[in-house]
Amino acid sequence: MSDLPLHRQLGLTDSENELIPRLIGRDPSPAELMMFSLMWSEHCSYKHSKPVLRRFPTSGERVLQGPGENAGAVDVGGGLAVALKVESHNHPSAVEPFEGAATGVGGIVRDILAVGAKPVALLNSLRFGELSSARSRHLFARAVKGIGTYGNCIGVPTVGGEIMFDDRYEDSCLVNAMCVGVVGHGDMLSCAARTPGNPLVLIGNRTGRDGIGGASILASAELGDDDADKRPSVQVGDPFTERKLIDCCLELAAEGLFVAFQDLGAAGLTSAASEMAAKGGRGLDIDLDLVPLREEGMPAPEILVSESQERMLAEVLPADVQRVREICTRWQLDATVIGHVTDTGHFVARHRGEVVADIPAAALTDDAPVYGVEPQSQALPAPIDLASVPAPEDLRAAWVSMLRRPNLGSARWVYQQYDHLVGANTIVRPGGDAAVVRLPGRHDAIAVTTDCRPRHCEVDPRAGGKATAFEAARNLACTGARPIAASDCLNFANPEKGPTAWRLVEVVEGLSLALEALGVPVVSGNVSLYNESPARAIYPTPVVGMVGRIDNAGKAVRIGFRNDGDLVLLLGDGVPRLDASEYLGRAEGRPPEPDADEEVALIDLLIRAAEAGLLESAHDVSDGGIALAVTESAITGGRGCQVTLPSGRRADEDLFGEGGARVLVSCRPSALPGLLEMAGMVNAAPIGLVTGDEVRVTVAGETLALGLDEARDAYEAAIPGALA
Amino acid sequence: MSVAVVRFPGSLDHDSAARAVVAAGGTATFAWQDDAELPPGTDAVLIPGGFSYGDHLRPGAIASRAPIMDAVRRHAGAGGRVLGICNGFQVLCEAGLLPGALRPNATLSFVCRQVQLDVADGSTILTRGMGATMSVPIKNHDGAWYGDPAAARVVFRYRGENPLGSTDAVAGVANARGNVVGLMPHPEEAVDPLLGSTDGLPLFRALASRA
Amino acid sequence: MTRVVVTVMPREGVLDPQGQAVQISLDRLGFGHVDNLRIGKRIELDIPGDDPEGQARTMCEALLANPLIEDFTIAVDG
Amino acid sequence: MTRVVVTVMPREGVLDPQGQAVQISLDRLGFGHVDNLRIGKRIELDIPGDDPEGQARTMCEALLANPLIEDFTIAVDG
Ligand SMILES: Nc1ncnc2c1ncn2[C@@H]1O[C@H](COP(=O)(O)OP(=O)(O)O)[C@@H](O)[C@H]1O
Ligand SMILES: [Mg+2]
């Protein structure tokens, strides 16, 4: 056992430790100290990021619920709202990738459930070290398995996500999950406790010793180190119970039995109860002896902070307790009254006849000290000198090897392990720019995507933030969807270091500028900081999850070429550059700054063209440049093409350069005049046609040809090949 | 015609299966695992996909012992139509209503993708009226049928390749009488042009028809 | 109360893909000489009353094992 | 060649959802008196050479068990 004072062992600073007695008017008990330490952790209190997050645009005509509840929600018409949130489970996934990633899915689903919404789509954003590392291969493969195992069993289709491998994530992998749900406007639930005297019902799994971090320090002082060692701190997911929880809670919600509703996530009961109390300006009185336990004899602090999964806490009317129990029993779930709402504003926990905690709830949730970050601005790098990048001797070979890169090749190995269809509403399946999911029982649909451009954020954080948000919006628009809401997960290194703080502030500024230009509000999100080891810090990785809307699901556009003889066009004014590109493979140079007007005009054009039925295919030009985009449209559609690329400075840059607003589309020849007219100020350049069974690309006077089979083999082998 | 869709804790595809029945011109009702009888007026039974009881122990094993299964057994015994999809197929095998067992996929991973099937036996009351082939998705972790193909009435086979490693590329079987059919692929995900295929519709028409 | 251990193994002749996969992984980790690896389930449970072994047998027949593909054995502790 | 049996069980205190689901089911089948049911894996394998037990331990640590959530025991036949 360490000699440090208890508060230090629990991760509280000396000044935080001094603040607590002033807030509660006496010295905290060890259990209370632990509750503060968890609630005031960065994960729960956002103490380093709160001021930064205020920058995000969060309002808009469609916003029904902005940040502050378990998930945000926007109107999609017809009385229906879409709820969304992205969340990280980085650290648990690094410790135990299968369970960490699985419980990450479970947690984000319960956030959606907590606002009364039915989960209809899952996505995930993954970042690991290079697959040449055995550790990264293990983490990646197990995390994917964990996500699949959990998501498949709960019957929510996993329809999208992204994967990137880079040495910068070798020591700190990122596993972010996003869930999207639907709920009627009038059926949205809040976590705010309402009426004193109302019982609190704990629903779902029993409480065990999962994910007890700080508590084991406390408990070990009492029980001796040997026992502490036996305590698993890994949460184990139980997707079968989660499925029952979803079915059961939606049934309870449909009968209007919830007054307030909340999931138990990080810091377990402590966080759930104090948030309910603080949000509603009420108190909660909880009797820990009533909490159903998996093992006898758990000490109070452990019960208070256990992170056992698949649990929800509901405020219900006294007269409804019986009915709630009946429904839960049918679903084979425990439903136990563990306390009631009070008017004291305090979170009071009793155990074996004693009060073990009695704290003003707001002290836990709102009074954590907020630390302004101290950004230390960095000089922006100069654009790379093209002469310093060796030109490939064999362009065709370079093209094939690009297809074979795990960062560019097909993600099929991953999404084939996910049930992306369950529910029979997946109109556009994974493998394209965004997935399209029909709204239950309706003709309209939502498109969903997650995106991030970490290398760009590293070299030029503000521009990288913009590029990230615009890419997400462009991906939605490629299906014909109009972006309506975003959620984000800010994955960063240690913000107490000036350069990281600067990147955080600048990225958020860039994201905000782009989202304002797009008219897309941020309605929820999450922050994951300190993703660094002594050897490596991650790139700034602001994952953006975005939802768009399509009026008519039948008009959704896909990335694959569809008919021989169709014309291929390049839309947009972006200029490809190798700076910070996948081709370069390094965060060096300075990609062109996204132009908001061009981006918005292109997105608008795509949506209108899809609506008018002018597009046969549309595919965003992103990682790997136009060479990748054109090959993917050909492989996916099972049709070759002949295109001539606009010439710039050098053939490899023309082929593999990235950056700016560019989209590869195809259309029937008869649709061309309409499309050109609609394009207006947006550059629309016909570059070839769909034909044959090879991809023929003419670049700087040289013609390269790649058979569809050879292209597909390289593309499909990228990830399985690297894992073999 | 009224089709009873049987639900267990962990069933996932009951709503989409019911929609497929409706798309095929039938009406759908739900039956719960604890019910002793099928809903009044039930003409046919559909056991949908999902992870009943979390696939614990063996997929379909725990659900196959639920009270409703006695009613399903009586219905099948009287010649009534029963269709089991994916987990429903596993339940029917575990219940002894269909021959064989479903083992983990040869890849040992969940597989979600579109496949092509050959209709190997179009003479059962459930498969007649189907084309010679169909395009449908599979999505399962334990979908490798294991059994004696000579002793079973094989109704569907994977075409071209055997994606899950089942005996003799079997994708679905019927009982001897042909009124109970189970298959791993998901015809309810192939009843709407927007989903990419409507090849699953004839199966639901047969299930929901009086002929 | 008797602690009973039920072992359920894939039947001889039934493919055990999980066992095979583990054997391949062991091979890669340098345990290439390992052979005949099979994976089954071990179920531990407390059974009160008389004839715990007979009760366990009934449970195996009713649920715990599928005779088409699995064999079971029962061991009673102590 | 020695036949070795490795038993991998969920660690004390770790959730065993499979055991829980099976116990619920046994309860419904009339075995409500059964308790503390836990399900783990039984791995049988042939190990040639010296110290099969030590080899098995190395394999458990390298692959067969996840020490964060599982405990293993090794039994050597004969
Ligand atoms: N980066 C962010 N952008 C927008 N909103 C955020 C961000 N990070 C956190 N939030 C919001 O702050 C609130 C608290 O987040 P969190 O503690 O993760 O919620 P929960 O405990 O329900 O998971 C939520 O409403 C969340 O949406
Ligand atoms: Mg929450």
Banded model confidence at residue A219, pLDDT cuts 50, 70, 90: very low
The closest alpha carbon to A386, from A162, A35, A652, belongs to A652
- The pTM of the full predicted model, rounded to 2 decimals, is 0.95
Mean pLDDT, chain B, integer: 96
Instruction: Give the residue from B111, B112, B141 with the most A CB atoms within 10 Å of its CB, the best one to mutate.
Output: B112
Looking at residue A200, what is its pLDDT? 98
Selected catalytic residue, list B14, B75, B86, B189: B86
Q: What are phi and psi of A263, to 5 degrees?
A: -90, 160
Q: Is the Cα torsion angle A470, A474, A477, A479 positive or negative in sign?
A: negative
The closest alpha carbon to A404, from A716, A670, A59, A653, belongs to A716
Between helix A498-518 and helix A596-611 the angle, nearest 10°, is 40
Looking at residue C28, what is its pLDDT? 87
**What is the tens place of the pLDDT at every residue in B71-89?**
999 999 999 999 999 999 9
The closest alpha carbon to A42, from A499, A370, A374, belongs to A370
Looking at residue C78, what is its pLDDT? 56
Banded model confidence at residue A125, pLDDT cuts 50, 70, 90: very high
Q: Distance between CA atoms of A102 and A85, rounded to whole angstroms? A: 16
Q: Is the Cα torsion angle A135, C23, A415, A86 positive or negative in sign?
A: negative
pLDDT higher than 50, residue A206: yes
CB of A439 within 8 A of CB of A445?
yes
The domain spans of chain C are: 2-77
Q: Distance between CA atoms of A439 and A441, rounded to whole angstroms? A: 6
State how far the alpha carbon of A269 is from the alpha carbons of A33, A85, A120, A162, in Å: 15, 21, 27, 33
Neighbour-count burial of C54, counting CB atoms closer than 10 A to its CB (0-12 exposed, 13-18 middle, 19+ buried): exposed
Strand, helix or coil for residue A484: strand
Q: Distance between CA atoms of A475 and A478, rounded to whole angstroms? A: 5
pLDDT higher than 80, residue A241: yes
Between helix A97-114 and helix A134-154 the angle, nearest 10°, is 40
CB of A287 within 8 A of CB of A339?
yes
Looking at residue A232, what is its pLDDT? 55
Taking CB atoms and an 8 Å limit, are B57 and C64 in contact across chains?
yes
Selected catalytic residue, list A48, A89, A340, A420: A89
Residue that is written with structure tokens 């006496």 in the block: A26
CA terminus-to-terminus distance, chain B: 10
Sort strands A311-315 and A260-263 into parallel, antiparallel or unpaired.
antiparallel
Q: Distance between CA atoms of A380 and A593, rounded to whole angstroms? A: 12
Q: Distance between CA atoms of C45 and D24, rounded to whole angstroms? A: 13
Banded model confidence at residue A651, pLDDT cuts 50, 70, 90: very high
Q: Show the tokens assigned to A275.
A: 């948030």
CB of A708 within 8 A of CB of A693?
yes
Looking at residue C13, what is its pLDDT? 81
A351 belongs to the catalytic site = no
pLDDT higher than 50, residue A222: no
Looking at residue A221, what is its pLDDT? 41
CB of A445 within 8 A of CB of A512?
no
Residue A58 Cα: closest atom of ligand 1: 4
Q: Looking at the complex, does the CB of residue A244 fall below 8 Å from at least one CB of chain B?
A: yes
Taking CB atoms and an 8 Å limit, are A240 and D14 in contact across chains?
no
**What is the tens place of the pLDDT at every residue in A34-82?**
999 999 988 888 888 999 999 999 999 999 999 999 999 999 999 999 9
Banded model confidence at residue A2, pLDDT cuts 50, 70, 90: low
**What is the tens place of the pLDDT at every residue in A373-422?**
899 999 999 999 999 999 999 999 999 999 999 999 999 999 999 999 99
Looking at residue A224, what is its pLDDT? 41
**What is the tens place of the pLDDT at every residue in A149-164?**
999 999 999 999 999 9
The closest alpha carbon to A458, from A467, A450, A449, belongs to A467
CB of A28 within 8 A of CB of A16?
no
Sort strands B153-158 and A63-65 into parallel, antiparallel or unpaired.
unpaired
CB of B61 within 8 A of CB of D21?
no
Q: What are phi and psi of B183, to 5 degrees?
A: -150, 150
Looking at residue B120, what is its pLDDT? 97
Q: Distance between CA atoms of A516 and B27, rounded to whole angstroms? A: 48
Considering CB atoms only, which of B9, B19, B189 is closest to A331?
B9
Average pLDDT over residues B56-85: 97
Q: Distance between CA atoms of A586 and A605, rounded to whole angstroms? A: 33
3-state SS of chain B: helix, strand, coil percent to 5? 25, 30, 45
The closest alpha carbon to B143, from B126, B117, B157, B163, belongs to B163
Looking at residue A225, what is its pLDDT? 42
Average pLDDT over residues A508-520: 98
Nearest CA to ligand 1 atom 13: A68
Q: Distance between CA atoms of A324 and A257, rounded to whole angstroms? A: 7
Q: Which residues pair with A162 in a beta bridge?
A: A125
Kind and range of the H or E run holding D9:
strand D2-10
Looking at residue A227, what is its pLDDT? 45
CA B202 to chain centre: 14
The domain spans of chain B are: 2-207
pLDDT higher than 70, residue A355: yes
Q: Distance between CA atoms of A665 and A679, rounded to whole angstroms? A: 12
Between helix A268-280 and helix A30-39 the angle, nearest 10°, is 70
Looking at residue A409, what is its pLDDT? 98
Chain D environment of B66 (Cβ under 8 Å): 28
Q: Distance between CA atoms of C69 and C11, rounded to whole angstroms? A: 5
The closest alpha carbon to A271, from A43, A602, A603, A26, belongs to A43
The nearest alpha carbon in chain C to B59 belongs to C66
Q: Distance between CA atoms of B120 and A48, rounded to whole angstroms? A: 64
Q: Which of A125, A189, A524 to mutate to test the pocket of ligand 1 (most atoms within 8 A of CB)?
A: A524
Q: How far is D44 from chain A (nearest CA, A)?
A: 24
The closest alpha carbon to A483, from A422, A559, A544, A558, belongs to A544
Q: Which residues contact A169 (CB under 8 A, 6 or more apart)?
A: A127, A128, A129, A136, A538
pLDDT higher than 90, residue A295: no
pLDDT higher than 90, residue A182: yes
Q: What is the mean pLDDT of each run of 10 residues along chain D (78 residues)?
A: 94 88 93 93 94 94 91 88
Q: Distance between CA atoms of B8 and A244, rounded to whole angstroms? A: 10
Average pLDDT over residues A97-120: 97
Taking CB atoms and an 8 Å limit, are D28 and B54 in contact across chains?
no
pLDDT higher than 80, residue A231: no
State how far the alpha carbon of A61 is from the alpha carbons of A65, A73, A186, in Å: 11, 12, 17
**What is the tens place of the pLDDT at every residue in B98-123?**
999 999 999 999 999 999 999 999 99
CB of B8 within 8 A of CB of A240?
no
Residue A107 Cα: closest atom of ligand 1: 23
**DSSP letter at A206?**
P
CB of A324 within 8 A of CB of A200?
no
Banded model confidence at residue A216, pLDDT cuts 50, 70, 90: very low
Alpha helices in A374-452 (DSSP H): 395-403, 412-415
Residue that is written with structure tokens 């992103």 in the block: A622
HSE-up (13 A, CA, CB side) for residue A9: 18
Provide DSSP, C20-31: HHHHHHHHHTT-
Instruction: Give the residue from D9, D11, D12, D14 with the most A CB atoms within 10 Å of its CB, the best one to mutate.
Output: D14
- CATH 2.70.170.10 is the classification of domain C2-77: no
Q: Show the tokens assigned to A694.
A: 């090879």
pLDDT higher than 90, residue A372: no
Banded model confidence at residue B211, pLDDT cuts 50, 70, 90: low
**DSSP letter at C62?**
I
For chain A, domains (ranges, CATH) are: 189-352 (3.90.650.10)
Q: How far is D22 from chain A (nearest CA, A)?
A: 12
Q: Show the tokens assigned to A396.
A: 């065709």
Task: Order across the sheet with D35-47: list the strands.
Answer: C70-76, C2-10, C35-47, D35-47, D2-10, D70-76
**What is the tens place of the pLDDT at every residue in A559-604?**
999 999 999 999 999 899 999 999 999 999 999 999 999 999 999 9
Looking at residue A67, what is its pLDDT? 94
B75 belongs to the catalytic site = no
Alpha helices in A519-624 (DSSP H): 596-611
Nearest CA to ligand 1 atom 24: A68
Looking at residue A724, what is its pLDDT? 87
- CATH 3.40.50.2000 is the classification of domain B2-207: no
Kind and range of the H or E run holding A119:
strand A118-128
The torsion angle over the Cα atoms of residues B178, B179, B184 and B190, rounded to 10 degrees, is 110
